Amino acid sequence: MRKHHDVLSVEWVKLELIRTAYATRGGLFSTMDPRMVVMWYLVLAIVPWFTHNLTVLAGLFVLGCISVGLARVGPLLLGLFVFGLIVETFYVFIAAWLFGGDTQTVIALVELTLKLGAVSLASMAAFVSLDPEKLSDAMLAFRMPQMITFGVSYGYRMLPILIEQFATVFEGYRLRSAPVENKGFLGWRMITQWCRLTVLSFYPIFLNTAKSVRTTVESLEARGFTYAAVDGRGRQIRLAYLRLTAKDWAVMAVTLALIAGVFWFGAQFPLYR
């Protein structure tokens, strides 16, 4: 029997993506200056690559987990992350076993998994907290080209619309295709059909978007988009609101102190340096 589902449905995925993109859940980092959030992220994303010490990496991983908690990352992203981590672990052991590796191979792979995990956690925390405008303004503040910063915010503006269109096209395709009579082992026939339709659904969406972009480009031209790229005043106005507060510095300082602490702790109890 079919039932209405509020979670794990297409509608839910859509809402989750929108919530993630627009930082609607709030959290610590969403109240900070976006420039500091980006720098904070860069620190956490770079540091793990300077060590092979598993203790330190585990510590950084924990820091990542705490940040994710503070940033209030939603269930969809977390779920995908945890799923990825489990698959990865599983794969590490299979790979080590199949290719005749020993503990050393496993450790090397675990190290990589931990590094990637710590970086992913920091990315989730940072980008869930930055709504499109803030991210694009931070990039503009770091003197990235206007084309790229505008692209980021325009991409976000289009995201909900594209998701909506995708859902409609996919639904239409499914209704108009023959239903799968025999689902097969673990429903593989069903899954194959879904994958096929997902790919096919992109075709009409690309064409529709291409068709609608003409108006967008004309409108950008008429509203001084290319003018602003030459003239610097627009950039100044746009960035005038950015302020680094005590809170920003404090978060950065605490993070640096914690990282130093983790490294110190790792030096005391090193694991497979």
Partner 1 sequence: MPQPIITVTDLSFRYPGADQDSLRNVNLTIEAGDFVTVIGGNGSAKTTLCKTFNGLIPHYWHGEFAGSVHVAGVDTWDSSVTELSAHVGYVYQDFHNQLVRPTVRDEVAFGPVNYGLDDHEERTSSALETLGITELAQRFVWQLSGGQAHLTALASVLAQRPTVLIVDEPVAELDPERAAVIYERLATLNRELGITIITIEHHMEFVARYAKSVILMADGTPAWHLPIEEAITRTGELEAHGIPAPQSINAVKALGISATPRTTEDAVAAIRASGKKPSVHWSGIAHLATQEPNRDVVARAVNVTHGYKSVSGETHMVLNNVNVDLHDGDRVALVGGNGAGKSTLMKLLAGIIVPREGTVWLGETNSRSKASPHLAEHAAYLYQHPELMLLKGSVAEDVALFPKDRKHPDTDALVAHILDRVRLTDFADRDGRTLSGGQQRRATLAIGLAMRPTVLLLDEPTSSLDVSSRDDVTHMLADLAGSIRCTVVATHDMQLVAEWANRVIVLSEGGIIADCHPRELFGSPQVLERAHLTAPEIVRIGNALGVAPVPLSVAELAAAYHGDGPPPVPTATAQTSALGV
C-alpha 147/C-alpha 228 separation (Å) is: 11
- Contact between 213 and partner 1 by CB under 8 A: the answer reads yes
One character per residue 233-262, x = contact with partner 1 (rule: CB under 8 A): xx-xxx------------------------
Return the number of the residue (51 or 153) whose C-beta is nearest partner 1: 153
Of 12, 81, 194, 265, which lies in the binding site for partner 1, with binding defined by CB under 8 A?
12
- Give 171 or 192: the residue with its C-beta nearer to partner 1: 171
Rg (CA), the chain: 23
Q: Which of 31, 168, 198, 245 binds partner 1 (CB under 8 A)?
A: 168
Residue type, 43: V
Q: Does 224 bind partner 1 (CB under 8 A)?
A: yes
13 binds partner 1 (CB under 8 A): no
CA-closest candidate to residue 130, choices 42, 43, 29, 44 = 29
State yes or no: residue 106 binds partner 1 (CB under 8 A): no
- 58 and 100 Cβ atoms separated by less than 8 Å: no
**What minimum distance in Å lies between the beta carbon of 51 and partner 1?**
39
Q: Is 191 in the site for partner 1 (CB under 8 A)?
A: no
Residue 228 in contact with partner 1, rule: CB under 8 A: yes
The token duo for 134 is: 């803030």
Q: Are 244 and 36 in contact (CB under 8 A)?
A: yes
Closest CA to 20 of 159, 167, 162: 159
Half-sphere exposure of 227 (CA within 13 A, CB side): 8
Shortest Cβ distance from residue 89 to partner 1 (Å)?
A: 32
DSSP-H helix ranges across 72-187: 75-98, 103-129, 132-141, 146-176
Provide, rounded to whole angstroms, the least separation between the CB of residue 229 and partner 1.
9
Q: Mention every residue, 6+ apart, whose C-beta is less than 8 A from residue 113.
A: 85, 88, 89, 92
Number of residues interacting with partner 1: please give it, by CB under 8 A. 64
- Our finding on whether 198 is near partner 1 (CB under 8 A) is no
Of 30-38, 65-73, 85-93, 225-233, which part binds partner 1 (CB under 8 A)? 225-233
The Cα 57–Cα 47 span in angstroms is: 9
Residues near partner 1 (CB under 8 A) are 1-4, 6, 11-12, 15, 18-19, 22, 24, 131-133, 153-154, 156-157, 160-161, 164-165, 168-169, 171-179, 200-201, 203-204, 207-208, 211-216, 218-228, 231-234, 236-238
